[in-house]
Structure formats: structure tokens, C-alpha cells
Amino acid sequence: MDEVTGAQLIAESLKAQKVDYMFGIVGVPIIEVAMAAQAAGIRYVGMRNEQAACYAASAIGYITGRPGACLVVSGPGLIHALGGMANANMNCWPVVVIGGSSDRNQETAGAFQEFPQVEACRLYSKFSARPSSLEAIPSVIEKAVRTSIYGRPGACYVDIAGDMVNAKVERSKVREVSCCPPPPVSLADQGSVTEAISVLKAAKTPLVIIGKGAAYGRAETVLREFIETSGLPFLPTPMGKGVLPDDHANCVAAARSRALLQADVILLFGARLNWMLHFGLPPRFNPNVKIIQVDLCAEEMGNNVRPAVALLGDISAVATQLLMCVRRDGWKYPSNAEWWSMLKSKIAANAKISKALALQSTVPLNYYTVFHHISQLLPHDCIIVSEGANTMDIGRTMLNNYLPRHRLDAGTFGTMGVGLGFAIAAAAVEASQNTGRRVVCVEGDSAFGFSGMEVETMCRYSLPVVVIVVNNNGIYSGVDSETWKAMKQMGELTSVAPPVSLLPEARYDEVMKAFGGRGLLVRTVEELRSALQLSLSDWERPSLINVLIDPSSDRKQQEFPWLTRSNL
């Protein structure tokens, strides 16, 4: 008799749905699930915390368009993964979490790690369910994978009771469920497209915003054609960077504040008007701005600003519709418009300020100098993962992206601790596809700490990630070693040390060394450059470059007072 276990059914069903990567931490009751996954041809990456495992699995969804799986044990394991589910759901990234749970005959009896897992996941997911029998596993997995990528992408949860993992059923009794087709594509209605074109043509100071929905939706080719045909200026959101290259002639990222403030019509491709875009409201936006909103989620239309035109549909499809109209009419926004010369002079002025800061080489270094030299050495096709406060904000303006889905950061939820998991996911994809692209993870020292033990994961799987910790001894800012010593004399550190401070000159590089990776401590431009060159030349193991910078280094003077608040 050909029998199959619950573990095998989960693994084979995931594989049938083209889930190729699984991240997790094994333990009772799901060890067999991980083993079955490997047997089914799924790559399994064992992580050190479920949160990081879930971040990694969700990054697979963003990078490949097919969800990664995250495998966790019951109770605390599942609860740790909730952070990753929440982050994925907020980012609109697909992920499928598989959680083992207590044996059914012990439920409500105070079983080991018992927790209402299906209910707990509801708030963090689009779909949360437990198969009612072994026979139901393939269809529940298919539904989870399908739901994660259809409509607005997001997180899905499948619970597997402990006693079902090793229970067996005759294979002939289980109905196979084939791979779900790619999400159906919808077009915007033609009347709205025509209206959008007439609003665009009437604009004096138009702007296109490209968000991470456009990156996820693989709209790079058509958006490039649309931008180049229409001659419009565009601005990427943080993860919209790279859909079109940052050095594209129409990119006005270096004049972001000005562009947002003065645009009279904004064509929004796959970005929400949430905090990241200042809600689309004054003082950051023109109060009379007309928004042409392109999104596949109807409920998103009108959040904070009522759109002049709502184009409901897939970004690639809608951009194609718009492109066809622009081509048909032979319309192009004039390159000699006053708006263009204003944007260009603002870009030049801003570049000058950053350049002046970047050319300083006094030790300890400032952020701008560090990023200037990093940007000179990074290969154009590298995947940049970034998190931290200043590290991420300043890094975003100075580290260019040239390819879509090559920047992953703290995202919509502003989650710190995502970096190492994202980098591991990206490196796992690189390892299996052999594209020769580098994964570089640019971390603030605080951000690094949340998932720092994942350097062991990088070392264990020989993933040649280059981690750069931009170390300012704290959260937002810190104090230097001398001040720290003086504070120790003043009284108990728990009373006198600023809550933002972390241990000055902490040796994060030694953490990487402890597991056999390369660890480098740098203080000067020369040391930084040679450490990065050395790390980039090594494809065998990961590196961590610990860059000690001025603990009071800050963002450059901002033109508008509201820009000085962190994260804005």
C-alpha cells in the first residue's frame, strides 16, 4: 500500500504550487515537514529566529513573485513569526507560513505550546486555516498560495496539528491539486484611461511616482517606455528605486521635496498615499494636486486624497493602455518646459550639498562620506538591502539602484531587523540561479542587532553576503567611548546613559568572525575602500565591515523644517 504522511503532503503540495524555498526553525512537531520539503526538492534554510525566517520567506515572494514558505513550531515559534507576517502583509508581499500546533486530542487541555494559532494569524494575514484532514492538505495549501498572490498580495497561514504531521493516508485517497495559474490580469476601463490622458495633457507640472507595487508587478519594461515616450519626470519610492534606473535622465529623486510640493498632476503607479508619501497632503503636496491613481486594489482608491481618476487594474496592463494613447496621439511633455528647468536646477543644487559632505574625510567619518565611497565600489547589478534610521534614509539618496526589485528595506511597516533575513533570501536565490549578483546589506548598528545572530546562518550556508554596519554607537545617535567612560563615573549607567545609546565601538565584525566569516573594522576612507574591495572579491563566505562613524553624524541641513524629523 502506498501511504503518505501529513508532512509529505504539505511538502509535496507546496512544491506542486511552485514554492521553491522554505525558511524556518525546526522542533517538535515539524522536523519531518522540513525533511519532507527537502525530499520534495524545496530548498530549506534553517534560521535562528522565526521572525527573520518569515522576513526571508516574504522577500522570496517579492523577488520571485512566488511566495516563500516559513516553517515554524507551535506557540512561541508561531508568535515570533507574526512579526514577519505583519511586515509582509503591510508590504503587500506574498508569504505562506506553515505552523505546527498541538495534537488535536490535547487541545484546550493545556498542551505543550498550545495557542489559538489560526485565530492569532487572522490579524496578520489574508487567509488563516487548518486543514480538517490529511486529504484536505493539497487544496488548503493551493488556496493559501493562490490567495497570497491573487488580488493584493499578502501573508497566508496554514496550521498543521502535531498529530497530523506523521499520520498516514493512502496516496490514492488524496486528490492532487495542480499549480494555481498566475493571477488574472485586469485592465482599467477605457473611459477612465481617456480621462487620465486628458488630465495629464492639461498638467503644467506633472509627476509620475513609481512605487514598489510597480516593482512587484514587473512593470519595468512598459514603464520605461511610457516615461521615455511621454517625457515625464518620475520619482521612485524607496523600493520603487530601480524599476527605472536611478541615473535615468527623467529621474527627479534628488529634487523629491520640490517635485512633490509643486506637482499639479501626479500619476501614481503602485504606491499608497500613506506616511511614506506624506498622505498626499499639504504641507508636502500641493493642496490642489490631481492624482491619477493606478492600483489593483479598489479599496486603496481615495485613501487620504480622492483621485481625479482611478485606474483599477494591473500596473503593467494599465501602463500599456496609457502608453498606447500617448503613442496614438504623438503626445510628449515638452523637455523645454519651465518645470523641467526648475527640477534640474534643484537637482544640481542638492547634489552640490551632498558632494561637499561626501568629500570630507575627517575621522570619524560622516554618513555621506561612507555612502559616497560605498556607491563608487558597488557593482551596478547588486541587490541592496538596507535598514536603520539615518543609515537607510541617507543611504537611499546616495546608493543608486539600476535594476528592479534590487532594493529591499524596512518598508511600509518601518520594520527594523528585516535586513539579514532579506539578504539571506536574496543570496539563496542567487546561489540557486547563479546569476553572479552580489547581495549587500547596509545596516545601522541598532538595526543589525535585531537579527544579528543570522550571520551564523550566512556562514553555515556559505552565503557570500557583504554586511556593512554603519556604526554610530546608537539608535539615531550615540556617544563616543570617552563620554561613555565619563558617564560610568557619574553613576549607574541605567540612570545616566541616554536610552538611544549602544555600546560604543561595539565589535560586530568579531561576531561574523566567530562563525568563520570575514570581519573587518574600519575607521578611514582608505580602510573602508580596501575592506569593501576585499569583501566583494570573495564569493566563498560572508563578510561584515564594521564602519565606525561619528556618533553625532546627522542628515544634511533640510530645506523644510518638517524634514528634520527622523524617517521623513
The residues of the shown chain that bind ligand ADP, judged by CB under 6 A, are 91-92, 152, 211-213, 216-217, 237, 239-240, 270-272, 274, 276, 295-297, 300, 314-315, 412
Cell digits of residue 253 = 529623486
CB of 28 to ligand ADP, least distance (A): 37
Q: Which does 444 bind (CB under 5 to 8 A by kind): ligand ADP, Mg ion, none?
A: Mg ion
Binding status of residue 472 toward Mg ion by CB under 5 A: yes
Question: Smaller CB distance to Mg ion: residue 91 or 446?
Answer: 446
Contact predicate 366/398, CB 8 Å? no
Q: For the CB of residue 59, give the shortest distance to ligand ADP in the complex, in Å.
A: 14
Q: Least separation, in Å, of the C-beta of 418 and Mg ion?
A: 16
Nearer to ligand ADP, 216 or 508 (CB): 216
Among Mg ion, ligand ADP, none, the one that 15 touches (CB under a kind-dependent 5 to 8 A) is none
Asked if 313 is part of the footprint of Mg ion (rule: CB under 5 A), the reply reads: no
Closer CB to ligand ADP, 188 or 343, in the complex: 188
**Residue 339 C-beta: closest distance to ligand ADP, Å:** 23
Residues in the chain: 568
Burial 234-248 (b: 16+ CB within 10 A, else e): bbbbbbbbbbbbbeb
Site for Mg ion in 149-178 (CB under 5 A): none
Query: CB 226 → ligand ADP: shortest distance, Å?
Result: 14
Q: Shortest approach of ligand ADP to residue 127 CB, angstroms?
A: 17
CB-neighbour burial class of residue 151 (10 A; exposed 0-12, middle 13-18, buried 19+): middle
Q: How far apart are CA 89 and CA 84, in angstroms?
A: 9
Task: Give yes or no for residue 236 binding Mg ion (CB under 5 A).
Answer: no
- 73 close to 29: Cβ distance less than 8 angstroms: yes
Judged by beta carbon, residue 315 or residue 410, the one nearer Mg ion is 410
Euclidean distance between CA atoms 89 and 101, whole angstroms: 22
Helix, strand, coil percentages for the chain (3-state, nearest 5): 45, 15, 40
Please state the closest distance from residue 238 (CB atom) to ligand ADP, in A: 6
How big is the CA angle at 435 (ends 431 and 437), to the nearest 5 degrees? Answer: 85
Q: Give me 284's grid cell.
A: 508636502
8 or 473: whose CB is closer to Mg ion? Answer: 473
Render 62-84 in DSSP notation, one character per residue: HHHSS-EEEEE-TTHHHHHHHHH
* Contacted entry of Mg ion, ligand ADP, none for residue 445, CB cut-off 5 to 8 Å set by kind: Mg ion
Distance between CA 2 and CA 279 in Å, rounded? Answer: 58
- The one-letter amino acid at 421: G
Gap between the Cα atoms of 225 and 319, Å rounded: 9
Cell of 238: 524607496
| By CB under 5 A, residue 445 contacts Mg ion | yes
Q: Which does 217 bind (CB under 5 to 8 A by kind): Mg ion, ligand ADP, none?
A: ligand ADP
553 part of the interface to Mg ion, by CB under 5 A: no
Whole-angstrom Cα distance, residue 324 to residue 476? Answer: 47
- Closer residue to ligand ADP, CB minimum distance, 77 or 233: 233
Taking only Cα atoms into account, the Rg of the chain, rounded to an integer number of angstroms, comes to 25
How many Cα atoms sit within 13 Å of 234 on the Cβ side?
A: 34
Q: How far is the CB of 469 from Mg ion (least distance, A)?
A: 9
**Interface residue with Mg ion, options 75, 421, 444, 519 (CB under 5 A):** 444
Range in contact with Mg ion (rule: CB under 5 A) among 157-165, 278-286, 395-403, 468-476 = 468-476
Chain positions contacting Mg ion, by CB under 5 A: 444-446, 472
